[in-house]
Structure formats: structure tokens, C-alpha cells
Amino acid sequence: MTNPMIDLSQIPTTAPEGVKKKQVRKETRRLAKRLAELQYLLFAEKKHGVLVVFQGMDTSGKDGATRNAFQYCSPSGMGCYSFKKPTDLEFAHDFLWRVQQHSPAKGDIQIFIRSHYEDILIQRVHSWINEDRVKSRMDAINAYETNLASDNNTLVIKFYMHLSRERQAEKLQERLDDPSKQWKHNADDWKEAELWDQYRKCYEDAINWSTIPWHIIPVDQRWYRNFLITKILVERLEALQMQLPLLPKS
């Protein structure tokens, strides 16, 4: 069940050579439509839940990937929670307290934009917690995800948005220069970007210590990112072999 040890520096952040953008985009639309059909089955059958986690550096496209992959799905039976800095009340609880409130029910797809992993990422990078605490939190995360899977038939699908440092610098700059992107600008992102190596190391550990494996998505090109994520979602949901429930024959 565990990933082979992953070294992020050995994994490309770009699409493989020779992949055709136009073809891939067309295929992505087809897959997104199929995903909407699968969501309908999931909602009707109510046997499984789906938790989709998007984690990645700032500007890695967590919101954009969400918008694209689920573009034909219905809001009914779909949830999306974007984790921000915890409130005072949330900080007064264990770190999973706020997370568990947003776990998917059977029949639902729940998307986490950022997630419980922030509590071993930003907090570790800034040394707000010590290494013992990181380890015990990682155990708690593995237990939480494993329990979702085993006790509530939840498919836990985790995407690491694998971005190059150069591409991030471009994207942060765009948020200053392009009026249509200025609303995304946040001065703090520039400060966090300086901690690139530390974040990278903490992500790598989180991935390697996870019981439930991650999908590593090269995200430097948006069109390839969208394709891969939608393809994986469709494959994972297809594997559930869902059926529309029928009335019992009388």
C-alpha cells in the first residue's frame, strides 16, 4: 500500500515530450463529462464516499484544477472546502477536529483545497511544532484516512501538484502584472516562496510517510495537469463498478 520512496527532484514538472495539447484538451473534456456521469452514479448508489485532496505550493493551480475537473458535475452531492489559517477556536482543538467535520458522506465527493497536511507542512517549515509532533500527527493522518477508507467506503484520492520553482516565480509575477489575476495576489506568498526547499522537503516526507499513496501531477502546463487529474479521477471512480440501484423484483 505504500509508495516506493519518492524523490521529487527526479520527477518532471512538465508534460512528457510529444504529447499533443489540442488532442489532450479534447480528451480532457470527454473525461470531465464521464466524471459527471460517475458522480451521478455515486450519488444514486450512496455506497461510497470520495475525498479528493489537492496539495501543492502557492500558484500550483489547486482552484483551477478543481474548476476544470468537476466542470460538468452537479453541486448536489459535491462539497469543496478550502482550508485557511485556523481560527482561534480551531487552534484550541486537535488539528483534525476541523478536518473531520468536512469528511465526505457516502454518495458525496468532497474536495479539500489544502487539507490536514498543512499541519505538517507550514507548521513544520516554520518550526511551530517539533519533530516528535510531526511524527505523531502523521500517524493521526494515516489513521484518519485509513478509517475513512475502511469504515465508510471512502475513496481517498490525493494529488500533489508538482510545480517548478521557475514556473511559480512567473505565476506570482503574473498576479502583479495581469489585472485579471491581481485579485489573487497575496504578499505573504512571496515570503513563503523563499522557503521553497524546506517546503519541498516537507512535502516529500509527507508523501513518503503516507499510508494511502499520492498521485504526483506535473503542473507546469495547465492543460496537461487538467488532463491527468481528470483521467485519474475517472479511473478511480470507474474501478468502483457502480450501478444505478433497482427496485427489488416483486
The residues of the shown chain that bind a second copy, judged by CB under 8 A, are: 44-45, 63, 66-67, 70-80, 82, 111, 113, 176, 179-180, 182-185, 244-247
CB crowding 39-73: b at 16 or more within 10 Å, else e = bbbbbeeeebbbbbbbbbbbbbbbebbbebbbeeb
What is the rounded radius of gyration, in angstroms, for the C-alpha atoms of the chain? 19
CB of 182 to a second copy, least distance (A): 5
For a second copy, the closer CB: 4 or 248: 248
Q: How far is the CB of 87 from a second copy (least distance, A)?
A: 13
Q: Pick left, alpha or beta for residue 8 (phi over 0 → left; psi -120 to 50 → alpha; otherwise beta).
A: alpha
Q: Provide the phi-psi class of 117: left if phi over 0, else alpha when psi is between -120 and 50, else beta.
A: alpha
Question: Shortest distance, CB of residue 109 to a second copy, whole angstroms?
Answer: 8
Of the pair 87, 182, the CB lying nearest a second copy is at 182
Least distance in angstroms from the C-beta of 105 to a second copy:
11
Which residue's CB is nearer to a second copy, number 78 or number 149?
78
**What is the separation of C-alpha 212 from the centre of its chain, rounded to a whole number of angstroms?**
13
**CA 39 to CA 33: how far, in whole Å?**
10
* 215 three-state secondary structure: strand
Q: Which helix (H) or strand (E) holds 78?
A: strand 78-82
| CB 7, min distance to a second copy, A | 31
Nearer to a second copy, 8 or 193 (CB): 193
**Which residue number, 53 or 120, has a Cβ lying nearer to a second copy?**
53
Residue number, 72 or 196, with CB nearest to a second copy: 72
Q: Which helix (H) or strand (E) holds 216?
A: strand 214-218
* C-alpha span between 55 and 8 (Å, rounded): 14
Smallest distance from the beta carbon of 151 to a second copy, in angstroms? 20
